Every structure is written in structure tokens, then in C-alpha cells.
A and B are shown apart, each in its own frame.
Chain A
Amino acid sequence: MNGEQLVNLTINGRARAVRATPATTLLTVLRDELMLTGAKRGCNQGVCGACTVLVDDQPVRGCLSLATNLAGRAITTIEGLGQGRELAPLQRALLERGAVQCGFCISGVLISAFALLRQNPTPNVDETRAALSGNLCRCSGYIKIVEAVCGVGEEVRS
């Protein structure tokens, strides 16, 4: 209905054909069609950042991205960051440094931080604060999140 069409996306390395209308967002496709619920809907307005996913290595808002525009693009969600039960260093750092509280923001934070570290493996505090400024967290006060992300960089350095 409403001009629904099949769109071919690559999600976490796997080719997926999804149904979408021109108005269907990537977030809706991920959450409601593919049941990849790691990306969260916190505001549906592109402000909170809880729905952040990677599109060709760039962090984007799932709630502001239209699925039909993403044909052929590679999309990475939080479900695609780790290797089975093995946590990625960034996931481990957030966990071990006590940066995770309610967890609702954390998949978006992880994606933004992952993109930062790929571009800049040893970010300083200012660079990290700038890169995460689009991810709202109401629990942590951000201090331990920034420490954890910088800590991954320090591990790389040493």
C-alpha cells in the first residue's frame, strides 16, 4: 500500500530486501520489519541520537533517513558491532568503566563513538565530546562515557 516497494539494503554485512514506502524511515525498517531493535526511538526528530546507525561508515539518524534512499548502501547497527559473544573494545570499555546506566542511549553512543574511533583512533577529550554531542544521555552525566571512549584510544596508543 501507499507505493510500497522492495529496497535492497546491506545490513550488518548481509543483503536484505525490505518493504518500504517513500515515507518509511530506516529506523522503522530496522525495528519493525527486521526486528533489529538495538537502535532506539527516543524522539523521532533527529535530536536525541538514540537511533544512530552507520551508513557507509558515517553515523546517521535512523529516524531521519528514508529507507528508499539507501538502496545498495551498507548499514551497520549495534547488533553488527561485536563478533558473536566477543565484545568490541569500545563495548568492553563502556561496560568496564561504568558508563552504561539505563542503556537506552547507549547503542547510539556506541555507533557515534565507533565512527569517531575509525576516523581518529586516539581522540582527546575535546574531540570525543564534540563527536558525541549529538547523543543525549540523561543518566550518566557523560563523564564516564567520554572516559571510556578516550580510554579505547589510550589502549591503541600503548
Chain B
Amino acid sequence: MKEVGRNLPRLDANDKVTGRAAYTADLHRPGMLHGAIVKSPHAHARILSYDVSAALAFPGVACVLTGDDVAGGKFGPFIKDECVLAKGKVRFVGEAVCVVAAEDEAMARRAAQLIEVTYEELPAILTPEEAMAPNAALVHEDDAANFRIFQTECGGNLAWACAFSEGDVDAAWAACDVIVEGEFETQAQAHVAIEPCGALAEVDAAGRVTIWSANQSVFRVQANVCDALGLPMSKVRCVSPRVGGGFGNKMEMHVQGMTAALALATDRPVKLILTREEDFEMVRLRHPYRIRAKTGARHDGTLIAREVEAIIDCGAYGDDSPGVMGFSLLMARGPYRIPNFRASGRLYYTNKLRFGAFRGFGNPQVSFATETQLDEIAAKLGIDPFDLREKNAVRAGDRWVGGGAVHSDGFVKCLESARHASHWDERRKRSAAPGKWRALGVACTAHISGLLASAAIVRLLEDGTVVLNTGAVDIGQGSDTVLPQICAEALQIPVHKVALSSPDTDGSPYNWGTTASRVTYMTGRAVVGAAGEVARKIKVHAAEMLECGEADLELREGGRVGIVGIPQKEVTFRDVSLRAHWAVGGPIIGAESVMYDKPTIVDPKRTVFSGLPFPQIGVFSFNAVVCDVEIDKASGKTTVLEAWSACDVGKAINPMSVEGQIQGGFVQGLGFALFEEVVWDGARIANPSLMDYKIATTLDVPREIHPLLVEEPELDGPFGAKGIGEIPICAVAPAIANGIASAASVRLRQLPLTPERVLRAMLAQGNVV
């Protein structure tokens, strides 16, 4: 293979290193206005009245909109429970209440401060415990009227419940020689894409809206805006400039709906870019989980039973929460054979910012609990943590929770790779510096790539080069390079002969989104299919041109097609395409649509389940992480000195890009493990700035993070590939926690693993110098 498997530098990097790449905030339109948002100061309050007169009178103001001014309905991916601007009441501090459009941003922000909204405060529900209390105030009184993708247990402040079980967990505990049980808590994490969310909307003379925005799916933007504003999809065109990171934050709606509403109301282009503070306070965060987990094994380390119960804070709106909960519970058995397994989750509405999709989609939260317990069992039984995992590892032919087929031995290979590369078996030889403890910690996870629909269109241009169009948004993960590599390989042409269309709901085929680690795997499959159709059509022409059968033809490197065994009998793609464009048949276009519709889960004969929000998820991938952890005895501060992350990627289309995903995912996981936490002061987020919410800098990361690529081909993946986007973040926190337990003999069950928590645990144990 020429193009697949090579370290092609990113095709969009040239624009990025020269400052040419245009992100949403960089765009300008003639006559453009700027938007600003009035935010709720209350967690829960009825809106009694608006006085917008002073704002409207302010120089430069073109328009003010309140919730009463926006026609249309509610939106949301699982529960349609949200409006573009609050209607009737506000449900969290920071919720958008009104929007202003003015000639410049400063005017818009000053005018926004002149809007008077009168509220009647209501009791605020700030935790799931408060939400489930009898007679608790209701976050959504009209819950029963909200559309849900299907009915499940809900009501009161319970937004969604989900449960499933296999085997006989209750009976299995008696067969266990060792049982560990514990309660775990994970915190809210902020995505902190360096590009804040924003949008630019423009209306044409016929009232049709075009929206440029920071997004992970132009089609989700279109669907959400149309739901929210009551517009047919034919009246809304969504396009994507460059996107400065997403991590889940930009998959569903942020400001696109209100920006489009302003453009429609003013008949002028409107740009609205969130400040960093607004990006923290208004968009979405990773769900805090409270998890009770119990795992049991026999003396020999055979895992027998596991039970996981999660109480999850939904925040004020449903967003992706039901999906996150359901997916995380499906991952709670981990990549292990555990015959008796039960998981349940309850998701509660609260008066906090919505929680939603974030790289890992609930997996990092449950993996913190379950991978901690594997090490606890290993310690109790005196078994090496790697040996315990290897003994119970899922292998090709095994079934996932629910019955989905595992296709590869990738997990065992990840274990071997990480164990070997980290010199795990010689780990006692690593010496700690004076005043420090030091040890290696391991943790593992599985993830999926798949879900829902993608498509691709490949068009052969007159000169034999091609244009690829998929509608997939590159949010920085690299699909604008990887998809052309796949297309070039499938047609055996150099990648520079493949042009890539940018995502556009007018011109691109549907793509659910850059999410669920799915673009390489799902869209890549569509690209292979579309390129294959082009190849077939090329052969139809070539057979007529060379007077042979189509079956006798082969594609040759560099855009040629010839008769097998006769080197001189060939025509170029250019010859074929010129014929198609000017003489016979018309232009050559290949298209392919794919859907992840394999019945992976859930087999009702095997598993009792309720409330699981999706029946098919995807193919499984695997990960084993080892961290060399150092703890300062005096301060309790944890440092990761070096890390190894073995990921089963099927086939690395672009190994350098895969390495970047692994290293970047590891560091985002390191922040989750050690220091990132959104903190509330009452109902208000106390640290909505990069001064007070710390993300990793160059000085916080290990000097070396070794990406270990395990390539067990996925049968139907493009050239064997599957996704890598999310899995590298999922096992980092438990790997570090297991390293801390091994080094300092303290077991922490609450994230982040701050120096204070480590020190307190050490003091509580008398384990301090």
C-alpha cells in the first residue's frame, strides 16, 4: 500500500502553520452585526417580564430577542426539552435568556446589560440527591409533554433510567472467594477546546439561512436549528470552516440557533462568538458520576460477577445524557469475561449547566471504578495486575454485554504490548528519588467505533483526478487527511490527486458526525465503497476502449487501468474521464451510504434490559495504559514521569496521526485524573476561566508518552482500520490511581487525585514521613 499506512503530514497543516486557516471567528460578511447574550443569574426561576426598551434605544442596536420572540419548538438528541432562549423559566445560571445584535461586539454587550428581566426565584435543585428527594421542585414540570426517542422510566426529576443484567449476579456472589466493593466519585470536566464556540449566520433574499459554526456535524447543526426555529431543512444550510477542537462540546447545539434567529430577525449577517467564560458556563461539561461498584473473583483470579450502579447528574437539559449513561454502563464490564453482570443508571435533572458528550462518553468515569477494582482484586489475591487482566481478557469470538461479537484478539495484544514496552516485569528496579514514592500503574478499557450513518461521494474530474465529499468535519483529529488517504489507496492514485470538499449540508452526503470514534471507521468504509463504484465505472469504459472484458482489467498505480498480464494495454483515468465527460455515458460518480445497523446489542434471550438508548453501537477496540507514577511524600503531588498507551486501531491509516491522538487523549485524561475540576459555588460555576480551571501545560505532561499501535485488522473496516479518537483518554485516571496505590499504599476513589486528597489519605493511614 502506498498511501494507507504512511505518515502523511496533515493536508490542512500548511494553512494552519501560516495563519491562513479560517475558523468561525475569523469570518466576516458585509454588513455583519455582532451578537451578545443575556444570561440567567438564577439557577431556577420563573421569568415574569422583560424590559428591553433601554437596550433597543442604545446606539447601534439592531435587534433584541427574548424567548417570547423565537417561534419554533424544542430540540435535543434524546429528549426534546430545550429551547434556544429560555421560555417561561430559567433552569441554570448562565442559561441564555435574551440575545442582542448590534453594529459591534462592544455595543451588543453593553446593550445586553441594559435588559431588565424580572424573575421569581424557585428552589434550586443542585444535586441528584436533591433531585430525587420526595416533593423536590421539578426542573421540567412539562416533562411528560417532551418528545423522547422512546419511552423509558422517567418522571419527577428522573430524566432517564437504564438497566440490564446477564447471568445470575445475586447467586454468583456466593461462588466468589474475594469480593471488592466501593463507592466512586468523578468530577465535572470542561472540554476547553482552545477555540470557543461561535457561529455566523446570514440570510438570503428568499429567507434561507446559511450558518458557519464551530461544529462536529453540519447535519446535527441543521437538525437542531430546524427543530428550534421551526424551519424546514431546505431553508437552512450549514457549513463548516476550520474547527479548533471539539472533544464532544460542539456535537450538539450551542449558539447556532440564537445566531440564526438574530440573522432572520435583522435580515443581516450576525456573528456571535462566546467568551471563554461563557464557553465554560453555557455549553456543556462531562458528567459527574457517583458509582457503586462490586466485583468478585475466585482464588485463581477468574472473575465471576460484577455489579455497577451509577447516579448521574444530567444538568438542566437532556442533551446526550441518556446516550452517555447507556454507553458507559455497556462498558462497565470492561474487556473481560464476567458471566454475571448487572448495571443500572439513573439520570437526574438538576439546575446546573447541561452535561453531555465528552471524549470517552461516560467510559472514563466507569473505568475509574472498575479498573480500580481489578487492581484491588489482584492485590487481595496476590496476582500480578497484568496477569489478572490477561486471564480474564475477551478474545475473538467472545460476546460483549448484550451479545455483540468481539472480532479480534486486540485486547490481549494491547496487554502484551504495554507490558513489554513498559518493562512491567522489571518495574521494581525503578528507583524513586529521595522524598518520593514511585511505581507503575496499569489500567485498561474497551471502546467502540461505529454508530449511525455516513456516506461518501467520489467524482472523477475530467483530467482523471478526483473530488471526495463526505460531510465529515475535521475538528483537529485528522479526517481531512485520513479520508483522502483512504480514497487515494482505493483508487491507487497519489493523495495529491484527491481534492476534498468541505462539509456543507447543501452539497455533502449525510454524516451523523465526528463523534463516537467513528469517522475513520464509518466514513472510511463509505469512502472505500464510493471509490469502488468509481473504479467499476472506470472499468466499464476501459473495457470498451481496450475491447476486453471488465473482469480482465486491473487498476494500476498512478491512475491507470489495464488488461491483466498485458502491461502495454492500458488507458489512463484521464482518457476514461474525458470519454465519459464528452462522448459516452456522462461524468463518473461513485456514492456509498453506510449505517451501523448490525445487531450488536442487545440479545433479549441473553440479557434483560430496559432504557438502553441505542440497539447497535459498533466494533470494539481496546487499550492498555501504563503510567510511571511519582508521588511527593511531603506534598502528596502526583507526577506521571512516563507513560505507555497500547491501542488496538485495526490498521493505522496514518500512524503519526494516530500517535497524536493517543498522546493528546492521554494528556486530557491526565488532567481529568489529577487536576481538572469544574467547581460550583452554590449554583454558580466558581472557576469559569483558564486562570481558575487548569488544563495541562508543557510542564505537566510526561516527557515521554509512548503510543503503541496494535494492528489487528477489523474485517469490514477500511483497510482494516477502526477508530482511535476516544479510547486513549478512558483508562488514564485508573492507571494513575493504581500507580498511586502501588507506590504510596493509598487507594483513592474520588477524582481528581489532587495532592490534598493523596496527602489526606496518606495521613489517615499514618503513611507519611
> A: which residues have CB within 8 A of B?
31, 35-45, 47-48, 50, 77-79, 81-82, 87, 91, 94-107, 110, 125, 128-130, 132-146
Contact = CB atoms under 8 A, between A and B. Distances in A.
Q: Which of B191, B193, B476, B699 has the most chain A CB atoms inside 10 A of its CB?
A: B476
Given A95-B10, A129-B698, A140 B17 contact: no
A36 B244 CA distance: 17
A130 B245 contact: no
Nearest to A132: B698
A50 B23 CA distance: 13
Interface of B: 7, 9-10, 12-23, 25-26, 28, 191-196, 242-245, 247, 273, 275-276, 475-478, 656-657, 659-660, 663-668, 689-691, 695-699, 701, 703-705
Contacts of B22: 37
B705 A141 contact: yes
Nearest to B474: A102
A36 B19 CA distance: 8
Nearest to A102: B476
A94 B656 contact: no
Contact of B16 (A45, A77, A100, A125): A100
A125 B698 CA distance: 10
Contact of B701 (A36, A43, A91, A141): A141
A141 B666 contact: yes
A105 B690 CA distance: 14
Contacts of A40: 23, 25, 194-195, 244
A42 B19 contact: no
A29 to B, nearest CB: 14
B347 to A, nearest CB: 27
Contacts of A132: 698
A76 B443 CA distance: 46
Q: Which of B14, B191, B657, B698 has the most chain A CB atoms inside 10 A of its CB?
A: B698
A103 B660 contact: no
Contacts of A125: 703
B9 A96 contact: yes
B193 A102 contact: yes
18 contacts: A40-B244, A44-B275, A87-B14, A91-B18, A98-B10, A98-B656, A100-B13, A102-B195, A102-B245, A103-B15, A103-B16, A103-B244, A104-B193, A104-B244, A136-B194, A139-B660, A140-B664, A140-B667
Interface of A, secondary structure class, is loop
A37 B16 CA distance: 11
A128 B656 CA distance: 21
B687 to A, nearest CB: 12
Contacts of B701: 141-143
A144 B478 CA distance: 15
B690 A106 contact: no
B477 A101 contact: yes
A145 B169 CA distance: 49
A102 B689 contact: no
Q: Which of A94, A98, A129, A135 has the most chain B CB atoms inside 10 A of its CB?
A: A98
B244 A102 contact: yes
A138 B9 contact: no
Contact of A133 (B13, B192, B245, B698): B698
Contact of A104 (B17, B23, B698): B23
Q: Which of A42, A48, A129 has the most chain B CB atoms inside 10 A of its CB?
A: A42
Contacts of A136: 192, 194, 690, 695, 697
A17 to B, nearest CB: 20
A41 B25 contact: yes
Nearest to A134: B697
B242 A103 contact: yes
B244 A144 contact: no
A142 B19 contact: no
B16 A141 contact: no
A103 B12 contact: yes
B17 A100 contact: yes
A45 B10 contact: no
Contacts of A39: 19
A105 B660 contact: no
A98 B194 contact: no
B697 A37 contact: no
Contact of A98 (B7, B690, B696): B7
A20 to B, nearest CB: 13
A105 to B, nearest CB: 5
Given A140-B660, A140-B664, 20 more contacts: A37-B25, A40-B244, A44-B276, A77-B19, A79-B18, A87-B18, A95-B13, A98-B656, A100-B16, A101-B476, A101-B660, A102-B193, A102-B243, A104-B193, A125-B703, A136-B192, A138-B192, A141-B666, A142-B696, A144-B663
B690 A48 contact: yes
A139 B664 contact: yes
A81 to B, nearest CB: 8
Contacts of B657: 98
Contacts of A106: 16-17
B13 A35 contact: no
Nearest to A131: B698
A47 B19 CA distance: 20
